[in-house]
Structure 1
Amino acid sequence: MPKAEARAIRHGFPWVYANEMVLDRRTKALEPGSLAVLEDAQRTALGVVAVNPLSKIAARVLDASPGAVIDEAWFEKRLAAAQIHRALLYDAPFYRLVHAEADGLPGVVIDRFGEVAVIQPNAAWAERHLPALVAALVRVTGVGTVLKNAAGRARALEGLDAESGVLAGAAPKGPVSVRMNGATYMADLTGGQKTGLFYDQRESHAFVQRLAKGARVLDVFSHVGGFGLAALAGGAEHALAVDGSAPALALAREGAEASGVAERFETREGDAFAVLQALGGEGARFEVVICDPPAFAPSRQALDAGLRAYERVARLAAPLVAESGYLVLCSCSHAVDLAAFRAASARGIGKAGRRGPLVWEGRAGPDHPVLPQLAETGYLKALAFRL
């Protein structure tokens, strides 16, 4: 591979794109997920990589040592290091255990829900080595059940199927309760979005909880009640959760019951943009408004359209914020950096005729570490404006 790209790999960049390496006939014939030793133009070994000739990411660096053996013991070492970090942070085993490249397991996401772990093997090499990964996971964590979630765009880009299932133990009967920031959330681990619950907003929930004491709260794109339930647990007067998914809102109401705040919690099903417009027409006002949409820009090709969507969210949400209230806007788009998201949000607020300082910027919690060389691992952004 070229000198500049080889230098990046030596400095910790974990990917090699297809146009950065020589893919001869033999290499192109390799099965997706095959292991190989990556070499630079001088034939100096750079480490063990997983190769996928079908993907734009042609190779993912697994180990800087060219002699590394990718077996159960190798997985155990990576998983043990990941668990030690999380055990320092959280009193109970409910967290993201593995955050892909940042935890040394490229393309692999593992969320832990007590005795259950949910794996998203989003790269071909992880799919091929799933038995060893699962065996190591059970040995290191002691979980009784391991589920595979195969939903999502990333697997399709790797040429993988969308078939989820049970890899060890038995699937839980019904949703699993998760306690965070004083609230109880209900996670559907087999039929919900992604792995069933979004742990990444835990720190942002805690911040909003501080803002929301005695407040009326609007939680748009609420999923299973994320911000709204946290706000109520912290003393909010009332929370309205808006989402397009009836099953997600049903879980949110279950969470409100389990949290003991059902009498202060309300849900509204519908398209978020339409509901925001309707609330504006009704003259509704809230001391705290949070909008945490799905990724509007999941790729660079969708960047411009995504930024317009974030601007529109801000424009529709800002009029609903009471004087001196707070507007919290979030983005989980890999392709949108913080500066671009901040600018789009500010434009939307301005077009709504509102003004106010940015008082806080947030990111995913420490169970979602960022690999400095790979901006995509720092995907989550949260902004709080006081209007």
Structure 2
Amino acid sequence: MNSVILGKNEDRRIKKGHLWIFSNEIKSVEGSPENGELVRILDAKRNYLGTGFYNKNSLISVRFISKQKEVDLTQLFKSRILNAFAYRKKVYPNRESFRLIFSESDLIPGLIIDKYNNSYALQVYSAGIEKNINVIVDILKKELGAKNIFTKNEEYFRRLEGLPVEDYVYAGEMEKEIIDDGSIKYEIDFSDSHKTGFYFDQCDNRQYAGRFCNGFEALDCFCNSGGFGLHAAYNKCKSITFVDSSAREIERAEHNFKLNSFAAESSFIVDDVFDFLNKKIEEGKKYDVVIIDPPAFAKNKKNLPAAIKGYEKLNGLAMNVLKDGGVLFTSSCSYHLRDYEFINVINNAANKNGRYARIIYFNHASLDHPRLTSMEETVYLKFAGVILA
């Protein structure tokens, strides 16, 4: 097996449990490893640290996979996938759809697997996983009875790894699925959906927010396929307004609303959320519950200052359409925005409106998105329930 030798003191993060080795941390490479090949990882004194997948085309040159010198990838992947599945069934015993593998958090760096009944949507962002994808596919079929297995990759991350951007169907086909999150049914059309098809990371937060909606008027901004608003309807809200700039997502939200046969008064609006909120402020319209779940404003650290301004503006607008005694549920999926910065966003938005903000609930992603304590990169979603005073 070829070897990667780290520079002096460049082993510190790895010894603390981090799973990435960056190209500038490598002193030398012994042999001529191919992209996706396993390599031994040695410190500057040539002490053995572990084994990982090598990729000379990536800024993340090695993804740590095992502390063992001899690695049976079939057994390793099988063990970790089945352990991940067992955990998900403990926390979601009545669900057949959830995030099965959350990459580094489940100790399979560069792989995401979302389970939709017997359909499995994969995102592959590691040359090592790409090289061994058939092993993963065989495990899903033999051990979990997978019928359909396909990729739903994001082009940006594939290009970072120097991997082809095309998606692949490894078993079955990309057929529609009707899933449920424990309460709500959703139709998933993989042919034109975002990400892998559904945002499982907000499932627990949707359940929580729904509790506050009984008998009240609710507003779901950036509604996507309807998740938060559908939970408001499930909890017997008086009315729910869905807003998204995408006509396709509004169409999905309305379809899912009908799929669940909800009785609440509802409206489905295609509009820019900032524009919509400004119009409601001019009209003097207010809601008992306001939910804002925007896309990431900070794709990288360089964009963070502008993103913070955007989040403050958005939260301020949302606060201005909130009734006295109402609850604002706000979130950010920007990894580069840390928890304390998100709380500052909420506080600054409240201050500019002459109010105090009290956080009654703070959470990250759902239980099928565990956090690896040695990697802050595994935490990205922030979600807060806020009452103004």
Q: Indicate whether the TM-score tops 0.5.
A: yes
Task: Report how far residue 263 of structure 1 moved.
Answer: 5.1
CA distance in 2, matches of 1:243, 1:378: 26
Alignment match, 1:13: 18
Alignment match, 1:312: 313
Structure 1 unaligned spans of 5+: none
1:348 aligned counterpart, secondary structure? helix
CA distance in 2, matches of 1:375, 1:61: 16
Q: 1:322 to 1:181 in 2, by over 3 A?
A: farther
Quick check: 1:169 aligned with 2:178?
Answer: no
CA distance in 1, matches of 2:126, 2:276: 37
Quick check: 1:144 aligned with 2:151?
Answer: no
Task: Report how far residue 135 of structure 1 moved.
Answer: 1.1
Amino acid at match of 2:83: A
CA distance in 2, matches of 1:48, 1:265: 54
CA distance in 2, matches of 1:262, 1:163: 42
Task: Report how far residue 48 of structure 1 moved.
Answer: 0.9
CA contact under 8 A between 2:233 and 2:240: conserved in structure 1? yes
1:260 aligned counterpart, secondary structure? coil
CA distance in 2, matches of 1:270, 1:180: 27
Aligned residue among 46, 52, 55 for 1:52? 55
CA distance in 2, matches of 1:30, 1:37: 10
1:357 aligned counterpart, secondary structure? strand
The alignment's C-alpha RMSD in Å is 1.7
Work out the percentage of aligned pairs sharing the same amino acid: 29
CA contact under 8 A between 2:236 and 2:264: conserved in structure 1? no
Aligned residue-pair number: 382
Q: 1:267 to 1:368 in 2, by over 3 A?
A: same
What is the CA deviation profile of residues 286-308 of structure 1, one whole-angstrom value per residue up to 9, with x for unaligned ones? 11111111111122222222212
Alignment match, 2:3: none
Alignment match, 2:345: 344
Runs of 4+ that moved beyond 4 A = none
Quick check: 1:22 aligned with 2:31?
Answer: no
CA contact under 8 A between 1:151 and 1:163: conserved in structure 2? no
2:230 aligned counterpart, secondary structure? helix
CA contact under 8 A between 1:171 and 1:190: conserved in structure 2? yes
Structure 2 unaligned spans of 5+: 1-5
What is the CA deviation profile of residues 232-252 of structure 1, one whole-angstrom value per residue up to 9, with x for unaligned ones? 101111111111111111111
CA distance in 2, matches of 1:106, 1:144: 24
Task: Report how far residue 264 of structure 1 moved.
Answer: 2.3
Greater mean alpha carbon deviation, residues 367-376 or residues 256-265: 256-265
CA distance in 1, matches of 2:260, 2:277: 26
Alignment match, 1:291: 292
Task: Report how far residue 152 of structure 1 moved.
Answer: 4.5
CA contact under 8 A between 1:36 and 1:48: conserved in structure 2? yes
Alignment match, 1:85: 87
Alignment match, 1:123: 126
CA distance in 2, matches of 1:95, 1:209: 19
Task: Report how far residue 74 of structure 1 moved.
Answer: 2.3
TM-score calculated relative to the size of structure 1: 0.94
Quick check: 1:37 aligned with 2:18?
Answer: no
Amino acid at match of 2:11: A
Amino acid at match of 2:21: V
1:195 aligned counterpart, secondary structure? coil
1:190 aligned counterpart, secondary structure? coil
2:269 aligned counterpart, secondary structure? strand
CA contact under 8 A between 2:95 and 2:182: conserved in structure 1? no
Task: Report how far residue 136 of structure 1 moved.
Answer: 1.3
What is the CA deviation profile of residues 83-140 of structure 1, one whole-angstrom value per residue up to 9, with x for unaligned ones? 1101111212211000000101101110001010100012222122111111112222
Q: 1:23 to 1:352 in 2, by over 3 A?
A: farther
Aligned pairs for 1:256-295 (under 5 A) are 256-261=257-262, 264-295=265-296
Greater mean alpha carbon deviation, residues 321-330 or residues 6-15: 6-15
CA contact under 8 A between 1:209 and 1:230: conserved in structure 2? yes
What is the CA deviation profile of residues 204-240 of structure 1, one whole-angstrom value per residue up to 9, with x for unaligned ones? 1111111111111111111100100011101111111
Amino acid at match of 1:85: Y
Quick check: 1:135 aligned with 2:138?
Answer: yes
CA distance in 2, matches of 1:106, 1:181: 28
2:27 aligned counterpart, secondary structure? coil
1:211 aligned counterpart, secondary structure? coil
Aligned residue among 49, 56, 70 for 1:67? 70
TM-score calculated relative to the size of structure 2: 0.94
Greater mean alpha carbon deviation, residues 300-309 or residues 362-371: 300-309
CA distance in 1, matches of 2:205, 2:71: 39
What is the CA deviation profile of residues 342-374 of structure 1, one whole-angstrom value per residue up to 9, with x for unaligned ones? 111221232233333111101111110100011
Alignment match, 1:302: 303
Amino acid at match of 1:290: I
Alignment match, 1:194: 195
